């Protein structure tokens, strides 16, 4: 794909994610269901954090494209490294996890992850923008250009560290309020919850490996942007 085309695509994706993140973050206070938006607000939900992550990723991607267009290749090389690290370790695995885990649990019992009270606040299109569109856009990114993955050990350590931070945030909110971020967590005993978190991390790691596999199958081992 031509650099100018990539720049246009990344710019549009950035604007889209910025708009979606803005739409969910700035829901009017009086419209928020009291049982949902408590301590931590929207910032306790993985879905919202993922939207911000995607906006940052596509912003970095557009910056890399712009630097390549104006021939600032030395600066572009550094930005491209950051872009690839963001995508491989976080953007692709989290988008895939958010989409698949949300719709799996929603199909089983939506009250565990997305109470009906949210239907009064979050439009149908915004729900799908947050939980559905993230996966095809991540797959499109893999098809659009190759990404250099870090050494497996480094990638998994970074992914595990981010997962640890989010789990710590969830536990902190529970300790401060006595309420779980997702009603699903209340169904588990402490050992069961630990097993659930471990299983979720294993699933995210499998999505990381899947992204690396797709990248290698489509682009091979040696074709990378420079």
Say if residues 21 and 51 touch (Cβ distance below 8 Å). Answer: yes
Query: What's the confidence (pLDDT) of residue 218?
Result: 93
Per-residue DSSP letters for 59-76? Answer: HHHHHHHHHHHTT-HHHH
Q: Considering the entire predicted model, what is its pTM?
A: 0.91
Residues 47-68 have a mean pLDDT of: 95
Using CA atoms, how far apart are residues 58 and 63, in angstroms rounded to an integer? Answer: 8
Distances (CA, A) of 146 to 21, 64, 76, 143: 26, 14, 15, 8
Evaluate if residue 119 carries a pLDDT over 50: yes
Q: 59-117, pLDDT tens digit by residue?
A: 999 999 999 888 777 788 889 999 999 999 999 999 999 999 999 999 999 988 888 88
Evaluate if residue 18 carries a pLDDT over 70: yes
Using CA atoms, how far apart are residues 191 and 197, in angstroms rounded to an integer? Answer: 10
Residues 179-199 have a mean pLDDT of: 93
Q: Find the helix packing angle between 92-109 and 124-131, rounded to 10°.
A: 130
Say if residues 81 and 147 touch (Cβ distance below 8 Å). Answer: no
Using CA atoms, how far apart are residues 158 and 34, in angstroms rounded to an integer? Answer: 35
Evaluate if residue 30 carries a pLDDT over 60: no
Query: What's the confidence (pLDDT) of residue 226?
Result: 38
Using CA atoms, how far apart are residues 124 and 199, in angstroms rounded to an integer? Answer: 30
Domain range summary for the chain, segments of one domain joined by +:
3-25+41-219
Residues 128-138 have a mean pLDDT of: 96
Q: Find the helix packing angle between 3-25 and 46-69, rounded to 10°.
A: 150
Q: 191-226, pLDDT tens digit by residue?
A: 999 999 999 999 999 999 999 999 999 998 645 443
Query: What's the confidence (pLDDT) of residue 117?
Result: 82
Say if residues 125 and 197 touch (Cβ distance below 8 Å). Answer: no
Query: What's the confidence (pLDDT) of residue 32?
Result: 56
Burial of residue 224 (number of CB atoms within 10 Å: 0-12, 13-18, 19+): middle
Task: Choose among 212, 145, 208: nearest CA to 9.
Answer: 145
Evaluate if residue 41 carries a pLDDT over 90: no
- Which one has a higher pLDDT value, 56 or 35? 56
């Amino acid at each position: 794909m031509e650099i100018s085309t990539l720049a246009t695509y990344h710019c549009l994706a950035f604007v889209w994610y910025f708009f979606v993140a803005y739409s969910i973050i700035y829901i009017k206070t009086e419209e928020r269901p009291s049982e949902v938006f408590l301590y931590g607000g929207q910032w306790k939900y993985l879905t919202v954090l993922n939207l911000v992550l995607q906006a940052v990723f596509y912003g970095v991607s557009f910056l890399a494209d712009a630097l390549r267009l104006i021939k600032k290749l030395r600066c572009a090389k550094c930005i491209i490294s950051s872009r690839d690290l963001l995508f491989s370790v976080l953007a692709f695995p989290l988008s895939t996890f958010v989409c698949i885990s949300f719709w799996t649990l929603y199909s089983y019992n939506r009250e565990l992850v997305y109470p009906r009270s949210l239907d009064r606040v979050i439009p149908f299109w915004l729900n799908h923008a947050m939980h559905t569109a993230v996966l095809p856009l991540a797959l499109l990114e893999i098809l659009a250009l190759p990404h250099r993955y870090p050494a497996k050990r480094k990638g998994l350590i970074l992914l595990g560290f981010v997962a640890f931070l989010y789990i710590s945030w969830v536990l902190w909110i529970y300790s401060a309020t006595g309420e779980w971020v997702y009603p699903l967590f209340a169904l588990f005993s402490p050992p069961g919850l630990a097993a659930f978190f471990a299983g979720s991390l294993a699933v995210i790691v499998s999505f990381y490996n899947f992204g690396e596999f797709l990248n290698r199958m489509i682009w091979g081992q040696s074709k990378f942007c420079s």
